[in-house]
Amino acid sequence: MFYYEKKLQYPVRVSQCNPMLAKFLVEQYGGADGELAAALRYMNQRYTIPDKVIGLLNDIAMEEFSHLEMIATMIYKLTKDATPEMMKAAGLGDHYVAHDSALFYNNASGVPWTASYIQAKGDPIADLYEDIAAEEKARATYQWIIDMSDDPDLNDGLKFLREREVIHSLRFREAVEILKDDQGKKKIF
């Protein structure tokens, strides 16, 4: 069951129209290590993960969807007043021709999102290590976008998202330890 509260998880502000920053942010919208891939990965993996940590995957998947909403809002705000010339200068001319200012799930290079971005092995430990790696890659990408940005208002939201990736990574590490402890216990049937 889902409950949708009509507000973002964290306020999204931008200082000015900046299609170039929007192009960078598209990586976290539809890229391999972005929010959509993470949310779907965790929702999918929850069906083969032990009950002790199933809630964790479900909770983080839902939070990733809220991050996707934040990224979409950032991209929208960065491009809503952009002219076609500005979109073209930012390397978004092809996107503009195909989608106008509508969001589309692709990475910063324009490659469409694909289900091959989602990993699920069915082995809980392997899947959780994949999840840790995904969170660390997302954290690094957020940092690199912050490094490229000159917008302090946008950076505030990006820093929030970067820190949430750190928390998710730590929570997945805790889940690995819980499952490792269970593996070592003697089972009596």
φ and ψ at 7, to 5 degrees? -155, 155
| Mean pLDDT to the nearest integer, 67-96 | 95
Structure-token pair, residue 5:
């509260």
Q: What is the mean pLDDT of the chain?
A: 93
**Token pair of 160, please?**
């929030």
Q: How many residues does the chain have?
A: 189
- pLDDT, one tens digit per residue, over 104-160 is 999 999 999 999 999 889 999 999 999 999 999 999 999 999 999 999 999 999 999
168 is in an annotated binding site: yes
Q: Is 131 labelled a binding residue? A: no
Q: Check pLDDT > 70 for residue 2.
A: no
pLDDT, residue 101, reads 85
Residue 3's pLDDT is what? 75
Helix 51-79 × helix 124-148 angle, to 10°: 20
What percent of the chain lies above the pLDDT cut of 70?
Answer: 96
On whether 95 is known to bind a ligand per the annotation, the reply is no
Q: Is 35 annotated as a binding residue?
A: yes
According to CATH, the topology of domain 19-107+120-184 is Ferritin (1.20.1260)
Question: Which residue ranges make up each domain of the chain?
Answer: 19-107+120-184
Find out whether 59 is annotated in a ligand binding site.
yes
User: Is the predicted pLDDT of residue 181 greater than 90, yes or no?
Assistant: no
Is 85 known to sit in a ligand binding site?
Answer: no
Structure tokens given for 70 = 């934040």
